[in-house]
Structure 1
Amino acid sequence: MPPRLFLDTPLGSAADGDAAASQPHELILPAGAARHVQVLRLQPGAAITLFDGSGFEWQAEVLRMGRSEVSVHLHARQLVHRELAHAVSLCVVMPANDRMDGVIEKATELGAAAVQPLMSERSVLRLSGERADKKQAHWQGVAVAACEQSGRAQVPEIAPVRTLAQWLKSLPPVQASQRRWLLSPTAARPLAELARAQAGATSTLVLSGPEGGLSPAEEQAAREAGFEAVQLGPRILRADTAPLAVLGWLALQSV
């Protein structure tokens, strides 16, 4: 398969039947994408696939390779359908070390629409200010790379780091079309049972705590914000495993 590259600029109108967007034309790649092509050592005539996050893909052919500039021949676009049946957002109290990178990567591959990094009372990893901004930008880059690899044409949004308390207060009232799940090993209700009871939902928020779980006060605040506690089985999963297990299960339901 041709290499897939994300361009952080619109490649054409998303309106079906837009003639200008469907006609072949020459395009000079932005610096980041051009470097990617050069690193891959592609030559004129090589095929590549471009996407801009709109849900469309463009087949393209490398025309010229300069020292710092790469031009391609952009062909007609096509709409691709590789998203989950409904939007799933992971709201994750960040695990320690670099394990959040893995959460972002795998969540993107599995089809997450968005990821909200959070800090709670028992968080080990705490970020603020410029450091938090840099991490958010880095994680957005991880999501882009995972989209390029996995074939997704829509890039999940990696939201700014927030405290759990701030984030819960910012949520609007829960709607009938939205499921809000709190992952808890002490919950009585299994995932499959709760999913069947809420089968008509069109979006899902999955809240996952840190190693050691949320504090009792935090669990109560989540319940007051409309989250229903759900358990994933008899085993205790790590903070970077539990949200991906739920997302993987939901992804399989969309097949």
Structure 2
Amino acid sequence: MRNPRIYQNTPLSIGEIVDLNDDAFGHTVRVLRLQNGDSVTLFNGENLSNDSSSASYGDFEGELVNVSKKSAQVLIKSFIEKSVESPLNIHLGQGVSRGDRMDFTLQKSVELGVNTITPLFTERCGVKLSGERLQKKIDQWQKIVVSACEQSGRCVVPIVKPAIQLNEWLAQETSALKLNLHPKAQHSIMNLPNDNDRVRLLIGPEGGLNDEEISQANNAGFIDVLLGPRVLRTETAALTAITALQCRYGDIK
């Protein structure tokens, strides 16, 4: 059985004893019923290299100590460097969708290697959130991202950016290749230029982008691309496009 893998948002080092946060304690002790001496794996998403030109990420292996009814600690014993990040950096601009579709999209996109996610409000977006309710939703989405990293073995935790209007996202400066998934596009992802390591991918909500939004995206330099002859749901479109991009530029071979 694989050790439970836990994200710890604090500096970590060999020989240190760290407190598990409430979520991690609940999962390891109350759900999995682990006890003193059982092995766990921690990661914090930090670059551990002193060389700014290279990155070093990995997992800290340790064992549970001082387990009680309300708390537990981990004694860190070793560090294992590993690299599971794709050479392709993908920033997903995802139209906010209803219910658990957005949760599903974020979870699976992280498993597929997305680096940054910006939730977008569009004309046909069926979710209206603002203020405290919106912040709670962003926090919930970030927890889903962390959980996906724990499950998939990723050491770098993608960021869920604050949700913004589509036109604000389109106006942001970037050197990335900008793509909009469109069922009537003339170009396939597989026919894009050969060399590329950064992509901005725009995916509409359930109802898709309207004609004006598509024109805005085109005027902002986004290229309409096609995945196939069928119209895909928003969550299917995002994950299929990410997979195709990883096959074209990334680490799915």
Equivalent residue, structure 1, for 2:15: 24
Equivalent residue, structure 2, for 1:181: 179
- Higher mean C-alpha deviation, range 209-218 or range 23-32: 23-32
How far did 1:27 drift?
2.4
| Residues 32/97 of structure 1: CA separation in 2 closer, same or farther (3 Å cut) | closer
Equivalent residue, structure 1, for 2:107: 105
Q: What's the C-alpha RMSD, in Å, of the aligned pairs?
A: 1.5
Matched, 1:10 2:24: no
Aligned pairs for 1:188-203 within 5 A: 188-194=186-192, 197=193, 199-203=194-198
Q: Secondary structure at the match of 2:241?
A: helix
Matched, 1:53 2:45: yes
Aligned residue pairs total 238
Equivalent residue, structure 1, for 2:51: none
Q: Distance in 2 between matches of 1:74 and 1:212?
A: 49
CA contact (8 A) 2:125 2:207 kept: no
In structure 1, list runs of 5 or more residues that go unmatched: 12-20
User: Where has structure 1 moved over 3 Å in runs of 4 or more?
Assistant: none
Equivalent residue, structure 2, for 1:236: 231
How far did 1:115 drift?
1.1
Task: Name the TM-score, length of structure 1 as normaliser.
Answer: 0.88
Aligned pairs for 1:33-182 within 5 A: 33-39=24-30, 40-54=32-46, 55-169=57-171, 171-172=172-173, 174-175=174-175, 178-182=176-180
Q: Distance in 2 between matches of 1:86 and 1:140?
A: 21
Q: Distance in 1 between matches of 2:180 and 2:92?
A: 11
How far did 1:245 drift?
0.3
Q: Distance in 1 between matches of 2:90 and 2:201?
A: 7
How far did 1:205 drift?
0.7
CA contact (8 A) 2:170 2:217 kept: yes
Q: Secondary structure at the match of 1:241?
A: helix
Equivalent residue, structure 2, for 1:17: none
Equivalent residue, structure 1, for 2:211: 216
CA contact (8 A) 1:5 1:148 kept: yes
In structure 2, list runs of 5 or more residues that go unmatched: 47-56
Task: Name the TM-score, length of structure 2 as normaliser.
Answer: 0.89
CA contact (8 A) 2:179 2:223 kept: yes
Q: Distance in 2 between matches of 1:78 and 1:113?
A: 22
